[in-house]
């Protein structure tokens, strides 16, 4: 039987911030999403004030003021570096590691049960990550990924576990499932959870005991897989990599509302630059380009306008120059003056493998080896230092850039931002 | 003393800070025909940062450690994975701020400054020493 562990970092973004702010460890702290919009990470003290995950800033403004909640803008440069450190540490401690997200990783511990108690091993992982990197984490261990996730939730929820739960014992599995809401099971979610409850399946244990065929008929084969996983039958492979991306979206809210077409052109061009870079990283060409924007739907006093437009390319491309120029044509076709736009974005879809691109019958330009070379050079230069080489259309003074009022220093990635010691 | 030009660093290896080492010095104007056999390039990271994932860098901002040659502006390389021992130079959080001091474990836990103008930091019963890590190296840009 395989043995998987899920290692999940506690309140990761806040933990990363507080590593360098010993003055704030006892205070309620939250990290806000892009544009300082919503709470995306909260430390336990902020959670106890009732700040919910994803709560928009304006809804919690009062609590923030009243309790002096410390707010950080998201500093993804910092989080990426700290995450990388944790993952590297895990790779040193476990035979096989599968990075699931910025703050979660699965460890394959199959066979290690013979080396000693798994709980003791889990504790040594938690202690090492805590000491070496400075980030607290929890570990759940079981025979399937779904059960490992469940064990991890238990480790997080019940302090008595000390952050480690070994859920390989079937009796223990059933006891924990009996007190777990079905909506909290990995892969179920709120919407399906609600439907399950209407049908009398309210705990994780109810779901585990449900008839797989019935689940498949009324829900999906994916949920049937979850049922089997809850019964200790591993159905999700350890390194279940998501299939090739089907689309790439780059979209942001603006720091200040955009009213001028020239500013919107800059924004769209710079998003397309990012999207095209991602596309080339995937080794793909895109066949469809989409541009969209919208005004602030929450502000009903202002005139509202949102629109999106797509075009199918005769020849799929990943050339930033081509994609920017198409995006700008699309933008012009739907632009209207007199609105204050809050958000815009671009989407690339309909991907083709670069190696199988074919020249169109009516294409004037040949499939251009020079374009590929130019883009590769561009990417290489920009990998050394982000934004070193940009397209003039991206603009130079980007005053529409997003709001990051409480951005912390990049403590670990910039010489000028090193933490100070006295 | 002969001074040897170590050569330039090309852009591809910038992140690795690779500097070629010549095992022999070359007298000016008369290169030895026996020289020219390069050893492997030295990597400062290898020397100072054997464990990158547990190593942080901080900048010194005070004069409390002048006595052992740590000055304001110096960059301290701090390794969290090392078990601290008596006499180590450590970075710790005291009253919500980071400080660099010498760790004393005997006869009791204290943080010792290396400057007579500062007093040792004592820990009352029940208060815990919050160690950030052990200082392993010092980087200073020389005044020119």
Q: B100 and A422: CB-CB below 8 Å?
A: yes
Q: Are residues A219 and A306 in the same domain?
A: no
A/B interface, count of CB pairs below 8 Å = 67
Q: Is the separation of the CB atoms in A202 and A112 below 8 Å? A: no
Q: A419 and B130: CB-CB below 8 Å?
A: no
| Distance between B58 CA and the closest CA of chain A, angstroms | 5
Q: Are residues A135 and A233 in the same domain?
A: no
pLDDT higher than threshold 50 for residue A381: yes
Chain A contact present for B54, CB below 8 A: yes
A145 Rama sector, left if φ>0, alpha if ψ -120 to 50, beta otherwise = alpha
Q: How many CA atoms lie within 13 A of B34 on its CB side?
A: 4
Percentage, residues of chain A above pLDDT 90: 53
Q: Are residues A355 and A377 in the same domain?
A: yes
pLDDT tens sequence across A294-325? 888 677 678 888 888 888 888 888 999 999 99
| A240 or A420, higher pLDDT | A420
Sheet of A39-42, strands arranged across? A39-42, A29-32, A70-73
Q: Classify residue B17: in a domain, yes or no.
A: yes
Q: Is the separation of the CB atoms in A229 and A144 below 8 Å? A: yes
Q: Classify residue B66: in a domain, yes or no.
A: yes
Q: Final residue of a domain: which of A168, A192, A213?
A: A168
Give just the sign of the alpha carbon dihedral B120, B126, B130, B135.
positive
Where do runs of H (alpha helix) occur along A22-134? Answer: 44-47, 57-67, 76-93, 118-132
Pick among B11, B49, B54 to test the A interface (most A CBs inside 10 A): B54
Q: B98 and A421: CB-CB below 8 Å?
A: yes
**Distance of alpha carbon A342 from alpha carbon A254, whole angstroms:** 6
Q: Are residues A47 and A116 in the same domain?
A: yes
**Distance of alpha carbon A9 from alpha carbon A31, whole angstroms:** 15
pLDDT tens sequence across B54-75? 999 999 999 999 999 999 999 9
Residues of A in contact with B54 (CB under 8 A): 85, 89, 131-133
Q: Are residues A31 and A61 in the same domain?
A: yes
- From the list B11, B61, B81, the residue facing A132 with the nearest CB is B81
Q: A384 and B132: CB-CB below 8 Å?
A: no
Q: B130 and A85: CB-CB below 8 Å?
A: no
Chain A contact present for B56, CB below 8 A: yes
- Residue B38, domain extent: 11-139
Q: Final residue of a domain: which of A152, A168, A184?
A: A168
Q: A412 and B58: CB-CB below 8 Å?
A: no
Q: At B65, which CATH number? A: 2.10.109.10
pLDDT higher than threshold 50 for residue B7: no
3-class DSSP assignment, residue B81: coil
Residues of B in contact with A22 (CB under 8 A): 93, 96-98, 130
Q: Are residues A351 and A226 in the same domain?
A: no
Q: Classify residue A403: in a domain, yes or no.
A: no
What's the whole-number mean pLDDT along residues A181-193? 91
- Residue A32, domain extent: 1-168
- From the list A131, A418, A419, the residue facing B81 with the nearest CB is A131
- From the list A131, A419, A420, the residue facing B80 with the nearest CB is A131
Q: At A61, which CATH number? A: 3.30.70.270
Assess: ipTM above 0.90.
Answer: no
Residues of A in contact with B91 (CB under 8 A): 421
Q: Are residues A21 and A138 in the same domain?
A: yes
Q: Final residue of a domain: which of A190, A213, A242?
A: A242
Q: Classify residue A152: in a domain, yes or no.
A: yes
Q: Classify residue B6: in a domain, yes or no.
A: no
| Distance between B48 CA and the closest CA of chain A, angstroms | 16
What is the total count of domains within chain B?
Answer: 1
What's the whole-number mean pLDDT along residues B20-28? 53
Q: At A385, which CATH number? A: 3.30.1490.100
What's the whole-number mean pLDDT along residues A157-186? 95
| Distance between B32 CA and the closest CA of chain A, angstroms | 38
Q: Classify residue A421: in a domain, yes or no.
A: no
Write out the H or E segment, with its range, that includes residue A196: helix A189-198
pTM: 0.73
Q: Classify residue B5: in a domain, yes or no.
A: no
Q: Are residues A306 and A238 in the same domain?
A: no
Q: At A212, which CATH number? A: 1.10.150.20
**Distance of alpha carbon A153 from alpha carbon A238, whole angstroms:** 19
What's the whole-number mean pLDDT along residues A210-236? 94
Check residue A323 and give its pLDDT.
93
What is the C-alpha radius of gyration for chain B, rounded to an integer number of angstroms? 20
Residues of B in contact with A24 (CB under 8 A): 96
Q: Classify residue A365: in a domain, yes or no.
A: yes
**Distance of alpha carbon A130 from alpha carbon A279, whole angstroms:** 36
Q: B52 and A88: CB-CB below 8 Å?
A: yes
Q: Classify residue B65: in a domain, yes or no.
A: yes
Check residue A358 and give its pLDDT.
58
Q: Classify residue B4: in a domain, yes or no.
A: no
Q: Considering chain A, what is the average pLDDT of its residues?
A: 88
Q: Are residues A146 and A15 in the same domain?
A: yes
The per-residue DSSP string of A318-379 comes to --HHHHHHHHHHHHHHH--SS--EEEEEEEEEEEEEGGG----TT-SSPP-HHHHHHHHHHH
Q: Are residues A389 and A272 in the same domain?
A: yes
Q: Are residues A143 and A179 in the same domain?
A: no
Q: Classify residue B45: in a domain, yes or no.
A: yes
Q: Classify residue B21: in a domain, yes or no.
A: yes
Check residue A398 and give its pLDDT.
67
Q: Classify residue A175: in a domain, yes or no.
A: yes
Q: Classify residue A325: in a domain, yes or no.
A: yes
């Amino acid at each position: 039987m395989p043995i998987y562990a899920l290692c999940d970092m506690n309140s990761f973004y806040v933990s990363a911030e507080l590593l360098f702010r010993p003055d704030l460890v006892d205070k309620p702290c939250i990290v806000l999403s892009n544009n300082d919009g919503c709470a995306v990470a909260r430390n336990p003290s902020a959670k106890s004030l009732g700040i919910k995950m994803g709560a928009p800033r304006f809804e919690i403004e009062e609590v923030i003021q009243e309790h002096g909640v410390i707010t950080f803008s998201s500093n993804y440069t910092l989080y990426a570096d700290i995450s990388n450190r944790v993952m590297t540490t895990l790779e040193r401690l476990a035979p096989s590691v599968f990075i699931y997200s910025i703050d979660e990783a699965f460890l394959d511990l199959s066979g290690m049960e013979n080396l000693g108690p798994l709980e003791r091993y889990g504790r040594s992982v938690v202690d090492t990550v805590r000491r070496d990197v400075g980030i607290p984490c929890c570990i759940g261990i079981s025979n399937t990924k779904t059960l490992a996730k469940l064990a991890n939730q238990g480790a997080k929820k019940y302090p008595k576990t000390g952050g480690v739960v070994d859920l390989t014992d079937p009796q223990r599995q059933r006891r924990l499932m009996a007190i777990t809401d079905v909506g909290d099971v990995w892969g179920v979610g709120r919407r399906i959870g609600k439907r399950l409850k209407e049908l009398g399946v309210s705990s994780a244990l109810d779901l585990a005991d449900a008839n797989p065929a019935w689940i498949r008929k009324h829900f999906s084969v994916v949920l049937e897989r979850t049922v089997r996983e809850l019964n200790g039958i591993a159905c999700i492979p350890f390194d279940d990599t998501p299939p090739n991306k089907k689309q790439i979206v780059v979209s942001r809210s603006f720091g200040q509302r955009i009213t001028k077409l020239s500013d919107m052109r800059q924004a769209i061009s710079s998003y397309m630059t990012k999207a095209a870079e991602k596309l080339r990283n995937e080794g793909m060409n895109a066949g469809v380009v989409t541009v969209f924007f919208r005004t602030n739907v929450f502000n009903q006093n202002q005139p509202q306008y949102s629109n999106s437009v797509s075009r199918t390319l005769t020849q799929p491309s990943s050339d930033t120059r081509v994609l920017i120029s198409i995006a700008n044509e699309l933008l012009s076709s739907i632009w209207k003056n007199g609105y204050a736009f809050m958000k815009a974005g671009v989407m690339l879809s309909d991907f083709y493998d670069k190696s199988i691109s074919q020249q169109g019958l009516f294409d004037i330009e040949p499939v251009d080896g020079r374009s590929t070379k130019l883009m590769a050079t561009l990417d290489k230069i920009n990998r050394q230092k982000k934004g070193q080489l940009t397209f003039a259309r991206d603009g130079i003074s980007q005053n529409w850039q997003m709001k990051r009022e409480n951005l912390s220093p990049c403590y670990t990635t910039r010489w000028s931002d090193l933490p100070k010691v006295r | 003393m002969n001074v040897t030009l170590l050569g330039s660093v090309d852009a591809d290896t910038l992140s690795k800070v690779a500097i070629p080492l010549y095992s022999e010095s070359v007298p000016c104007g008369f290169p030895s025909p026996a020289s020219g056999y390069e050893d492997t390039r030295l990597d400062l990271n290898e020397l100072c940062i054997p464990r990158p994932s547990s190593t942080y860098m901080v900048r010194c901002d005070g004069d409390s450690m002048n006595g052992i040659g740590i000055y304001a502006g110096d960059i301290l390389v701090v390794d969290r994975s090392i078990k601290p021992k008596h006499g180590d130079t450590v970075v710790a959080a005291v009253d919500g701020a980071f400080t660099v001091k010498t760790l004393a474990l005997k006869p009791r836990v204290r943080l010792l400054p290396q400057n007579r103008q500062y007093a040792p930091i004592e820990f009352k019963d029940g208060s815990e020493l919050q160690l950030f890590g052990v200082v392993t190296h010092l980087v200073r840009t020389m005044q020119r």
